[in-house]
Amino acid sequence: MSFDDEIESFIGALRFEREMAVNTCESYGRDLAHFAGVMKLQGCSSAGDVTRADIDAYFMLERERAMASTTRARRLVALKMFYRHLSERRLISSDPTSLVDRPKKAKVLPRVLSEEETFLMIDEVKGDTPRDLRDRAMLEVMYGCGLRVSEVCELKIDDVVSDGELLRILGKGSKERLVPFGGAAAKAFADYISSARASFAKSAAFSGYAFLTRLGKPFTRQGVFKVIRERAAAVGIAANRISPHVLRHCFASHMLQRGADIRAIQEMLGHADIGTTQIYTHIDSGRFGEVHRRYHPRA
C-alpha cells in the first residue's frame, strides 16, 4: 500500500470503527498528510519505509521551524495512533514511534474576558429584530452553557430537555452530556425560537437545527466566529481577544471565581480529564491566595 492508501485506511477506521468525530478525523488526516509529504521527499513511499531516525529528524525539523509544542504533540499522537493501527493489522513489521517521547506542552493560559466585559458584549445585543434575537440567544447559550463552537452549530431544538432545564449536548468523540440550562440563556433562547427563528427557516432539511443563518442553513464555525467578533467590536473588544472558545473559557473561569466545584465544571465542559479543567485554577490563582489569607488560621 502507498502512504496515501495507508492514511485513508486509518482515517476510515477512526471514522467508522471507532466512531470518532469528523473534525477529529480530518485533523489527524491533515497531520498525517504533512508527515507523509516530508517522508516522500526523503524517499519513503510507504509507512513501512520510515525508521525511528526519520521520525526523530522530522520532529527536529519541526522544532527548528519553531513549530508550537502543542502542534508537535498533536502530530505525534496522530503518528502513534497511525502506526499502532498498521501494526495491529500486521501491515508493518515494527512500530518506529514506540519509543518516541511526546514533546512537553508549554502551559498556555486561556484568554478570558472579565465578567463586566462579557456582560457588556451580550447585553448590547438588545434589539428585537430576528437577527438580534438570534445573536443574543447564541451568545447567551455559549456563555451560559460553556459550549464548543461545533456544539453550537449542531445544537437542535429538541436538545432542550427536562422541561427546559437541561441541554443535551453531543460533544467530542460523540459523547453525550447534560448541561444545566436556565436563567438568561433559557430566556433568550425561548424568545428567539418563538419570535425569530421562523424568519430564518427556509428548508425542511434543516428544520431541527436551532441556530440558522439568513440563508436558512445551520451555522458553520466561521459563521459563529463572525457573529461574535462583530458583537464584540460593537463594544470595543479587540478582535484578538474574542472567539467562540474564549466564551467557553469565560464560562469556566467565571464559575470558578464564584466558587463552583472544579469537578462540576469538568462535567459541564465535557472534559474527559480533570487536568484539562485545572488550567482554570491558574487563571484564578490570585483568588486562591486571597481565600487562603482570609480563612487559614496561620496565614
Q: Report the candidate in 15, 17, 20, 30 with the shortest Cα–Cα distance to residue 78.
A: 30
214 flagged as catalytic: no
Q: Report the candidate in 116, 140, 151 with the shortest Cα–Cα distance to residue 228.
A: 140
Confirm if 256 and 280 have CB atoms less than 8 A apart. yes
Q: Say how many C-beta atoms besides its own lie within 10 A of residue 62's C-beta.
A: 20
C-alpha cell at 266: 469538568
Which of the following is catalytic: 148, 197, 231, 254?
148
248 flagged as catalytic: yes
Residues 6+ apart with CB under 8 A from 144: 181, 182, 183, 184, 185, 186, 251
Q: Report the candidate in 240, 23, 255, 259 with the shortest Cα–Cα distance to residue 145.
A: 255
| Sole residue written with cell 498498521 | 86
Report the half-sphere exposure of 115 (CA within 13 A, side-chain side).
7
Which of the following is catalytic: 72, 248, 249, 254?
248
245 flagged as catalytic: yes
Which of the following is catalytic: 15, 34, 172, 202?
172
Report how far residue 94's alpha carbon sits from residue 51's, in angstroms, rounded to the nearest whole number.
9
Which of the following is catalytic: 15, 168, 217, 245?
245
Report, as residue numbers or ranges, the catalytic residues: 148, 172, 245, 248, 271, 280
